[in-house]
């Protein structure tokens, strides 16, 4: 197959491209070619550009096992989405709709990456794929609109993959921020009333490529590293990984740090849908964090 990665300059997109290079070197891999395009090369909010690029990518894909588009492009600034929901909508909702329409024209498969923020975050057990959605803010609303557009326009050739708490080698993320603040301030306060599953973008990338190769029934899936924790406990484990005293992290509450956008109190996603179709489970979040520091420790230390 030929894989097109949108948002290739971002955290997940960069890891997808790194992994695609590795998989292409394997003679038994399902991947025969790939292209990674950032926003400069492909602004998914531009429908004419999307259609032209998908058509160009589909031509060589005819002899490369078909085209799979993995949409890693997204507006991820949760707080900024509250101030400019229309701009977030253009990337998170209209953009996936443009990709789905273009993929339908050339019989391509689309993998749309989504988020735990489509849920209200008030549950007390892991969210299943068919649980009721109810985003509490603009970011979640725009991502849910993107999911709905993809499923409506490309129902038999699309996958919506929700994930959560992603960190990686490229770009800004919680792991880098905590590492930096601990060095600069000597002490950090982190909320202990929000729970989720930290997910290494490299493991998520591997999961997405496994899904693209296996092509299980189309629909909605959840993919995160296994297990759950709080931001506070996650921060303490990060401190240990960078060789600092975890005790420099102290607990606080969400109410003590008001933000423009509401944060889900509970963001754990069930892997049942993923496992039921035989896709390989992702390792525990603690194992993944250790592996991430082994692979890209200098970058993660910020």
pLDDT in tens, 2-37: 999 999 999 999 999 999 999 999 988 999 999 999
pLDDT value at residue 94: 98
pLDDT value at residue 18: 97
pLDDT digits (tens, 9 = 90+) for 226-241: 999 999 999 999 999 9
* CATH class of the domain at 2-172+198-227+267-283: alpha beta
DSSP string for residues in 223-248:
---BS-EEHHHHHHHHHHHTTS-GGG
Bin 114: left if φ > 0, else alpha if -120 < ψ < 50, else beta. beta
Task: Describe the crossing of helices 95-106 and 47-61 by its angle, rounded to 10 degrees.
Answer: 40
- The kind and range of the H/E element at 140 are helix 138-153
User: In the chain, what are the domain boundaries?
Assistant: 2-172+198-227+267-283
pLDDT value at residue 187: 87
The helix/strand/coil state of 26 is coil
Q: What is the percentage of the chain residues whose pLDDT exceeds 70? A: 100
pLDDT digits (tens, 9 = 90+) for 48-66: 999 999 999 999 999 899 9
Q: What is the pTM of this model?
A: 0.97
Of the pLDDT bands very low, low, confident and very high (cuts 50, 70, 90), residue 257 is confident
Mean pLDDT of 61-78: 95
The DSSP bridge pattern shows strands 67-71 and 109-115 to be: parallel
Mean pLDDT of 101-115: 98
In terms of Cα–Cα distance, which of 145, 150, 125 is closest to 135? Answer: 145
* Candidate list 89, 117, 127, 139, residue with the active-site label: 139
Is there a catalytic annotation at residue 139? yes
Q: 90, 45 in Cβ contact below 8 A?
A: yes
Q: Is a pLDDT exceeding 80 seen at residue 302?
A: no
Q: What is the percentage of the chain residues whose pLDDT exceeds 90? A: 92
Q: What is the mean pLDDT of the chain?
A: 96
Beta-carbon contacts of residue 63 (< 8 Å; ≥ 6 apart) = none
Q: 194, 264 in Cβ contact below 8 A?
A: yes
């Amino acid at each position: 197959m030929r894989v097109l990665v949108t948002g290739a300059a971002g955290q997940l997109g960069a890891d997808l491209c790194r992994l695609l290079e590795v998989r292409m070197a394997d003679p038994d891999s399902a991947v025969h070619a790939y292209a990674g395009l950032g926003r400069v090369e492909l602004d998914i909010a531009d429908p004419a550009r999307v259609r032209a690029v998908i058509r160009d990518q589909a031509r060589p894909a005819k002899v490369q096992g078909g085209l799979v588009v993995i949409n890693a492009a997204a507006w991820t600034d949760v707080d900024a989405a509250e101030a400019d929901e229309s701009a977030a909508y253009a990337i998170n909702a209209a953009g996936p709709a443009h990709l789905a329409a273009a993929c339908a024209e050339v019989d391509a498969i689309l993998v749309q990456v989504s988020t735990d923020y489509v849920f209200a975050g008030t549950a007390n057990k892991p969210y299943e794929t068919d649980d009721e959605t109810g985003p509490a803010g603009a970011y979640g609303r725009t991502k849910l609109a993107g999911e709905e557009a993809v499923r409506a326009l490309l129902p038999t050739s699309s996958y919506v993959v929700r994930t959560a708490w992603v960190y990686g080698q490229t770009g800004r993320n919680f792991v880098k921020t905590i590492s930096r603040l601990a060095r600069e301030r000597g002490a950090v306060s982190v909320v202990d009333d929000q729970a989720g599953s930290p997910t290494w973008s490299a493991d998520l990338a591997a999961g997405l490529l496994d899904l693209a190769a296996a092509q299980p029934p189309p629909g909605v899936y959840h993919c995160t590293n296994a297990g759950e924790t709080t931001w506070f406990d996650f921060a303490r484990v990060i401190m240990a990984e960078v060789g600092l005293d975890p005790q420099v992290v102290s607990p606080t509450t969400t109410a003590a740090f008001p933000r423009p956008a509401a944060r889900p109190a509970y963001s754990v996603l069930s892997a049942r849908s993923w496992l039921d179709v035989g896709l390989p489970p992702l390792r525990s979040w603690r194992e993944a964090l250790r592996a991430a520091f082994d692979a890209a420790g200098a970058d993660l230390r910020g």
